[in-house]
Amino acid sequence: MLSLYKLSAKCLIIPLAFALFLTACDSNRQAPRHKAGFKLLMAVDESGEKSVEFILWYPGKKTESDVSLGAWTLRGGRNASPASGKFPLLIISHDTGANKLSYHDTARQLAAAGFVVAAPTHKGDNDRDMSKAYTAEQIFGRAEEISLLVDFLSHNEYKDFIDTSRIGVLGAGSGAAAALILAGGNIDISGYSEYCANLGEKDSLCSPWVKQRLTTLSFYLPQSPKSKLAGVKALALAAPDYGALFTKNSLAEIKAKIYVFDTELEADKQAARLRDILPDTPHYLLLPGLDSRDLTAPCGDSVLGETTWQCDPMPDDSLEMRDELFNNNLIHFFSQEMN
């Protein structure tokens, strides 16, 4: 197991696989370059039949303020004018049962660092409706929704400040599968049975209920080449789910740079599996003492001290750990690979 060595209150060194080392120090942090603006939007295709709701974060000009939306308090300039320039596009595909706001503080920090960030609420797999969870419709539907969203942003007023030739995807949990598909990966269930035989039901992906739900996958294979999205340069996979639905061969065509964030408190081994089968050894970081829910934004003051389906209260030390090791490294990774 990888371990964390705390050298001082201001500097951390985390040993990585294959003798690579990553440092996270206050002196290495990038100061915010912009104020963060945001808008709540709906992307609709040309026929008007398909749509996806999302929040768009971007470098803005307006002074930031606190805005309460449901269980969260967002910090940013609502409906602010965008800053001058053209910025790379990042997509956040949320975990099962989450929504477009679940990673709002991560999105805000990325926007302040010079990215446009679009975070959709995936249909049938969110905090209001989980009818498509662990189905083929969930896995392939997410990729289709993201493609619709990118096409929408490419043909509206937003195209003036978004560079869709430089796209990154942050896939959290089940969103990791969408990220891999968009970058050219293909679902291959040939290794699924062996994976579950080794782990048993310790991994939720191997429970009888999930196995039964995933039986429909075979009817969707081989998947359409249209699933791939042009312009994808970098992927970050956060506590990824569905790693057992890919093989080394099915990921071989991926050219994007990849960072895998593993969480110590997860029972499954899917992040480690993806690390081992992805082409060109990806960056890999184990986040000590955290689980997948710790990567979401903490609750706002309106529900502070409570636990809701949407978010958890987060102790200050866990929040600091997540910001230091997850958010800061995301900014560094995407900045390095896309700018």
Q: How open is the CA angle 241-247-250, to the nearest 5 degrees?
A: 105
Q: Please report the pLDDT score of residue 225 as a whole number.
A: 64
| CB crowding 16-35: b at 16 or more within 10 Å, else e | ebeeeebebeeeeeeeeebb
> In sequence order, what are the beta bridge partners of 234?
168, 257
As a whole number, mean pLDDT of residues 112-134 equals: 95
pLDDT above 70 coverage of the chain, percent: 86
Q: Which residue has the tokens 């598909």?
A: 181
Most confident of 155-169, 264-278, 298-312: 155-169
CA–CA gap between residue 58 and residue 88 (Å, rounded):
10
Q: Which residue has the tokens 């001290």?
A: 305
CA–CA gap between residue 29 and residue 44 (Å, rounded):
38
Q: Please report the pLDDT score of residue 221 as a whole number.
A: 83
Whether residue 222 is preceded by a cis peptide bond, meaning omega within 30 degrees of 0, is yes
pLDDT digits (tens, 9 = 90+) for 289-311: 888 988 999 876 655 444 455 66
- Please list, in sequence order, all residues whose beta carbon lies within 8 angstroms of the beta carbon of residue 116, skipping any fewer than 6 positions away: 56, 57, 58, 59, 87, 88, 89, 90, 153, 158, 161, 162
176 compared with 14, residue with greater pLDDT: 176
Which one of 3.30.565.10, 3.10.150.10, 3.90.550.10, 3.40.50.1820 gives the CATH number of domain 32-292? 3.40.50.1820
Task: Provide the residue ranges of all domains of the chain, joining segments of one domain with +.
Answer: 32-292
Amino acid code (one letter) for 59? P
CA–CA gap between residue 52 and residue 259 (Å, rounded):
27
> What is the SS3 assignment for 41?
strand
CA–CA gap between residue 36 and residue 60 (Å, rounded):
5
As a whole number, mean pLDDT of residues 82-102 equals: 95
CA–CA gap between residue 123 and residue 209 (Å, rounded):
21
> How would you write 274-288 as a 3-class SS string?
HHHHCCCCCEEEEEC
Q: Rounded to whole angstroms, what are the CA distances from 81 to 55, 157, 267, 333?
A: 15, 12, 44, 27
Q: Model confidence at 77, in pLDDT bands (50, 70, 90)?
A: very high
pLDDT digits (tens, 9 = 90+) for 218-236: 888 877 767 789 999 999 9
> Of 75, 70, 145, 151, which Cα lies nearest the Cα of 107?
75
